[in-house]
Structure 1
Amino acid sequence: MTEFIKYLSLKKDESGDNLYFISDETTKRELHRYNLNNEELIQVTNEKENVKNFWHVDEGLLIATDYNGNEREQLTYIKNGSVQKITDDGDYYHHYGVYMKDHFIFLRNHHDGKDFDLVKYSQGQLEVMATFERPTSIVSKFDDEKIILSQQVNNIDKEIYLFNIHTGEYKKTPLSIGRFSNYRSLNEETAVFTSDYLEGHMNLYLLNKEDFSFRKLTYFKWDIEKLLILNDKETVVFEVNKKGFSQLFQYKVTEDILELLDFPTDGVIHSIQNIDSKLYMIYSSMNQPHIVCSYDLMRHELIKLFGNEDLKEPMTVSHSTYPSFDGLDVPYYLYEQAGENLSTAIHVHGGPESQARPEFNELYYKLYKEGFQIAVPNIRGSTGYSKFYIGLDNQEKRMDAAKDVVSLRSHLCAVHDANPENIFIMGRSYGGFMTLLLITQFPKLWRAAVDIVGISHFTTLLSNTPAWRRDNRSYEYGFIGKHDEFMQCIAPLNNAHRVRSPLKIFHSHHDVRVPFSESTQMYEKMKEVHKDVELIVYENEGHQYLYTENQDDMNARIVKFFKEETKK
């Protein structure tokens, strides 16, 4: 059993009497239900594999699972006690979209291929309606005949299309290229969505569904993330990601009235649902493990329904910025210890088109209890700080992002009493690459390092990753044939001989985002040049570790590793 339970993907059922969610309290991720009337909390599924997602469809449940975290999700439909396999082909990824005209409509792509098939399924019959040569997603139902599709143009931007499921007509909309999300229909004539059109932040827009003209409704200098429409079909509730922290707003579309709701602003809203006059949310903060709570929109009253207990030993936490080598202000979160000459760990998030947020992290808590100070930066390339900031690390600007971490190290020593002899570096995925880059390009600065499912060479990553992912990642990392010299120059694999700090590498056999070979080749090269390295492998995981047994093992190993290295 895990010490802290994670809650994910909160959704109401069609009756509005129950909240469904995924949690890992049984040591893997299963679907659970909370009855709002009698407060009964029960486990709904008992799958062999982790439940990755679910949807309420036609008074039944559609559940997605994969094999050992390989992300090739298979869809199972449960209704009135009967179980129906919608998909059962481990060679394909399946991405559920919508239910229309008694059909399940979803996308699939072969694990070795580049094409995306748009599929409809009903009563055991599967029909491929269209095939696309670019990564494609189903955004939403548009009307009774059409669905909205998005297609990737590069690593962040999308084009928006309409597809008629009866005629097969496929038509590009007049909407601009850019980020696009949170499409919600208000009525037959209008809808809302969020995008970075006109400027670099995700704001709210009103769409005319007839001619696709749109009007900007909000002007935040931060990104709107989660969004829902209340029952009156004219009130929008959304979360604004301000410096990583969630702020909750209510907007009356017809009256053009924006209101900041009286909700805690020291953490992150992970999921949000609405039933009548109440919002239901999964919430956590740097000092608050995940809970499920309700918020009354009339009374502005917040109530915890269930979840983790408060921490017995709260941490001292803060948020600030520091100047990087070129004067850029880089934001970071700090789990700050009192004293001098503090052992300090820097953790770099993955993505890189992602963002560290002030949510609860069990590893940070365990390190903190052992006396470590932890700094978590959002270096250039992170989302949440404008489209301009996202592009600052692309391709041959990669070393600028590494220098952001070096500048943070100097800042921590100068301002937060970090001991320069005991500064540790770690990261997952792209953060793992950044860890390897830093210990090879700036080898004297680190006491020890941890690389979790990280990249050791962009060229081998791009050569071995699935074809449909290759172009997307190339816009970020560089294109083979164009950026070869630079990728060879900075590759940690080619510079393993420069490493001075001991390194622990964690990986898993079923990782489809960063192939297992990225870690084995780095481990073998480190051993070849007689460096201090250990490779820990989890047999039943993919890119994200979902089994609490493996998470607990990895966290314990990292804490022990850092403690032992501090004593030397």
Structure 2
Amino acid sequence: MTEFTKYLSLKLDKSEENLYVISDETGKRELYSYNLKGKSYVKVSDEQENVKNYWFADNGLLIGTDLNGNEREQLTFFKGEEKVQLTADDDYYHHYGVHMNGGFIYLRHHKNGKTFELIEHSEGHDTVLNSFETSSSIIGKFDDSHLLMSQAVNNIDKKVYLYNLETAELKNTELPAGRFGNYQSLNHSEALFTSDYLEGNLNLYKLNKETFEFKKLTYFKWDIQKVIVLEDKNTVIFEVNKKGFSKLFKYDVENDLLETLQFMSEGVVHSLVNSNNKLYALYSDMATPHAVYQFDLTDGSTEKLFGNDEAAIEIQTMHSTYPSFDGLDVPYYLYCQDTDNTPTAIHVHGGPESQARPEFNELYYKLYKEGYQIAVPNIRGSTGYSKFYIGLDNQEKRIDAAKDVVELREHLIKNHQSDKDNMFIMGRSYGGFMTLLLITQFPKLWKGAVDIVGISHFTTLLTNTPAWRREQRSHEYGFIGRHDEFMQCIAPLNNTQRIRCPLRIFHSHNDVRVPYSESVQMYERMKEQNKDVELTAYENEGHQYLYTENQDDMNSRLIAFFNEQISR
């Protein structure tokens, strides 16, 4: 059973008296508030479905929920006793943007389409302001008559535009294509944002809002991720993701002064907000479960406000790098055991444009208690290590990423007492694909494998995924009609006859990112060949597993599977 609560999306309300957070302590994700004065902690949402996101707007609360994990969030607005259902069409994805000029502005697109419609909800009516044939996002309010928007160029980069609400014109700002985030207005003429415009890492830039000229302010060799502008509109607090670890800094924009904050830095700051001279952080690390902390900017003191208790056992961890087949340094985290010939599981993260970070993970904790080492690499293609690193696995470079995992296996055997006869591979989403790729391309290396919502064939994935997602994913995986031969060659579905180890597959019926059919076809092909395979599917989940009951079921089955293989 679950031992720890997962907390997400910490925010401070407009009164700055209450912290809000999404928690799964009731078995699904619901919204809670914590009063900073009275220290009271109460549930504030009463939705039938999981709460995926929320915003404070128009002196009320806007909540986004989805049905059984289908990611097509429906938006509901609460203000006092008033409840307004902004959206109620399960055929559409809804992406909230801003509240301005008395209306809620959001984007929507049909579950099977690629047209993004810009919608304004005002006085109970919806108005379609415009439509775009490119994947679009609302960055925020630029001024009283303009939105700042972005449109995807590929799976990584975006172009930034100004949308005129009066003329319906979408104007190119002429900012370069690149990663763009954390837009924060300083005044009517200046703003801050993060981007990788001048090199491969996300740094802080100042923007001239009239000319759209920009100036680079910081020069980290790592990514700046979370940015807060304090009340003086000059002091900035931001998080630097250094080797996956969160480091907090205070920056004086006018005087170009940088100061390191002495907040906990052995893990991950998942959310960060401020009020006056205090920061509030949702934090965890590999050995410390999620909790919310208060950090005093005046005296540097830290106080835990609420969250999980400490883990019941001592957990030994480390992080390092290893040289891959071509000399590339690949980073990894390791949950270490003191024993010789230790059974070891390698877990490959999803994305692949994502990053494993040194945060608390209950599955790893449970495996660790069973005596396993768990190695979590950031193989090539991961974010957090420069834009150059992100592109090293694209399309026909895919096998190079698999070789990174093979080299990690050898590294663990030679340097961390891993048992060469009891090496397991597992992964979720793209990590599930990598798991299947490894047991088909390097079949002799694995005692067992677990594929969670994984891809079994890029061609079938791209064929069955919605049009708006297909183009973005093709930049990463390959384009149908251009990379067909390679995608057919490496497809795990086409190479099942090579699999030697038992495979356990977990999927869900409402997955909109990797269709359930990806796992069904893999399972059926292996059964036809009398391979050792089982498929477990959850009726009320999507690509993420949000219900605690299902997470517990999968974790229990996974651990039992590993233990069964070792005892043979």
Bin the TM-score by the shorter chain. Answer: over 0.9
- One-letter amino acid of the structure 1 residue matched with residue 240 of structure 2: V
* Match in the other structure for 2:25: 25
Question: Corresponding residue for 1:418?
Answer: 418
* Amino acid aligned to 2:475: Y
Matching residue of 1:360: 360
Q: What amino acid maps onto 2:531 in structure 1?
A: K
User: C-alpha offsets along residues 264-290 of structure 1, whole Å, 9 cap, x if unaligned?
Assistant: 110000001011110001000000000
Paired residue for 1:57?
Answer: 57
Q: Which residue of 1 aligns with 2:311?
A: 311
How far did 1:378 drift?
A: 0.2
Asked whether the equivalents of residues 97 and 106 of structure 1 are also in contact (C-alpha less than 8 Å), the reply is yes
> Helix, strand or coil: the match of 1:405?
helix
Please say if residues 27 and 549 of structure 1, whose CA atoms lie closer than 8 Å, have aligned partners that are also in contact. yes
Q: Show the 5 A alignment for 1:230-309.
A: 230-309=230-309
- Secondary structure at 1:384 match in 2: coil
- Residue 509 of structure 1 is matched in structure 2 by 509
Per-residue deviation, 1:255: 1.1
1:440-519 aligned within 5 A: 440-519=440-519
Q: Deviations over 1:422-449 (max 9, x none)?
A: 0000000000000000000000000000
| Mapping for residues 63-74 of structure 1, pairs under 5 Å | 63-74=63-74
Deviations 1:77-105 (A, max 9, x none): 01111111000000000000000101100
Matching of residue 340 in structure 1 with residue 340 in structure 2: yes
SS in structure 2 at match of 1:367: helix
Q: Deviations over 1:51-81 (max 9, x none)?
A: 0000011111000001000000000001111
Amino acid of the residue matched to residue 497 of structure 1?
A: Q
Measured in 1, the distance between the counterparts of 2:314 and 2:225 equals: 28
Q: 2:369 aligns to what?
A: 369
2:188 is equivalent to residue 191 of structure 1: no
Tell me what 2:162 maps to. Answer: 162
The 8 Å contact of residues 2 and 25 in structure 1, kept in 2 or not, is answered as no
Q: Aligned-pair distance for 1:46?
A: 1.6
Residue matched to 1:151:
151
The Cα offsets for residues 442-466 of structure 1, whole Å up to 9 and x where unpaired, read as: 0000000000000000000000001
Match of 2:175 in 1: 175
Deviates more, 1:1-10 or 1:292-301: 1-10
Superposition deviation, residue 311 in structure 1? 1.1
Q: Deviations over 1:179-202 (max 9, x none)?
A: 000000001010000000110000
Contact 1:150 / 1:159 at 8 angstroms: preserved in 2? yes
User: Percent sequence identity over matched residues?
Assistant: 67
CA separation in 2, counterparts of 1:314 and 1:56? 40
In the alignment, structure 1 residue 8 sits paired with structure 2 residue 8: yes
Q: CA deviation at 1:246?
A: 0.2
CA distance in 2, matches of 1:124, 1:480: 43
What secondary structure is seen at the aligned counterpart in 2 of 1:364? helix
Which whole-Å deviations, capped at 9, do the CAs of 1:25-47 have from their partners, x for residues lacking one?
01000000000110010000121
Tell me the equivalent position of 1:204. Answer: 204
Match for 1:188: what amino acid? H
Distance in 1 between residues matched to 2:264 and 2:43, nearest whole Å: 29
The separation in 1 between residues aligned to 2:61 and 2:547, in whole angstroms, is 23
User: What secondary structure does 2:75 align onto?
Assistant: strand
Residue by residue, what CA displacement relative to the aligned partner does 1:139-166 show, whole Å, maximum 9, x if unpaired?
Answer: 0100111010010000000000000112
Structure 2 Cα separation of the partners of residues 5 and 166 of structure 1: 46
Matched with 2:132 is 132
Secondary structure (helix, strand or coil) at the match of 2:410 reads: helix
**Matched residue of 2:420: which SS?**
strand
Aligned residue pairs: how many? 568
Report the Cα distance in structure 1 between the residues aligned to 2:468 and 2:64, rounded to whole angstroms.
21
Cα deviation 1:191-217 (Å, max 9, x = unaligned): 000000110000000001010001000
Separation (CA, whole Å) in 1 of partners of 2:63 and 2:300: 34
What is the letter of the counterpart of residue 561 of structure 2?
F
Letter in 1 for 2:168: G
Q: Which deviations, in whole Å up to 9, do the C-alpha atoms of 1:318-361 show, x marking residues without a partner?
A: 00000000010000000010121110000000000000000000
- SS of the residue 1:177 aligns to: coil
Q: Check if 1:392 corresponds to 2:413.
A: no
Q: Write the letter of the residue equivalent to 1:171.
A: K
Equivalent residue of 2:143, what SS?
coil
Match of residue 561 from structure 1: 561
Contact 1:116 1:135 in 2 (8 A): yes
Report how far residue 2 of structure 1 moved: 3.5
* Correspondence 1:322 to 2:322: yes
| Structure-1 separation of matches of 2:560 and 2:489 | 33
Q: Which secondary structure state, in structure 2, belongs to the residue aligned with residue 474 of structure 1?
A: helix
* Secondary structure, counterpart of 1:142 in structure 2: strand
Please tell me whether the aligned partners of residues 2 and 27 of structure 1 are also in contact (alpha carbons under 8 angstroms): no
Query: What's 1:123 paired with?
Result: 123
SS across alignment from 2:67: coil
**What is the rounded CA distance, in whole Å, between the counterparts of 2:265 and 2:457 in structure 1?**
39
CA distance in structure 2 between the partners assigned to 1:2 and 1:115 by the alignment = 41
Letter in 2 for 1:285: D
Instruction: Please state how far the C-alpha of 1:405 moved relative to its aligned partner.
Output: 0.2
- Counterparts of 1:13 and 1:341 in 2: how far apart (Å)? 52
Amino acid at match of 2:91: D
Q: Distance in 2 between matches of 1:383 and 1:56?
A: 30
> What is the alpha-carbon root mean square deviation over aligned residues?
0.6
| 2:427 maps to 1:427 | yes
Moved over 3 A (4+): none
Give the Å deviation of 1:124: 1.5
SS of 1:347 mapped into structure 2: strand
TM-score (norm 2): 1.00
Aligned-pair CA distance for 1:314: 1.8
1:102 aligns with 2:102: yes
* Aligned mates of 1:289, 1:297 — CA distance in 2: 24
TM-score w.r.t. the length of structure 1 is 1.00
Q: CA deviation at 1:234?
A: 0.7
Q: Give the AA of the match of 2:477.
A: Y
**Partner Cα distance (2:431, 2:414) in 1:** 24
Structure 2: gaps spanning 5 or more residues: none
Deviation per CA, 1:124-143: give whole Å up to 9, x if none: 21111111111100001001
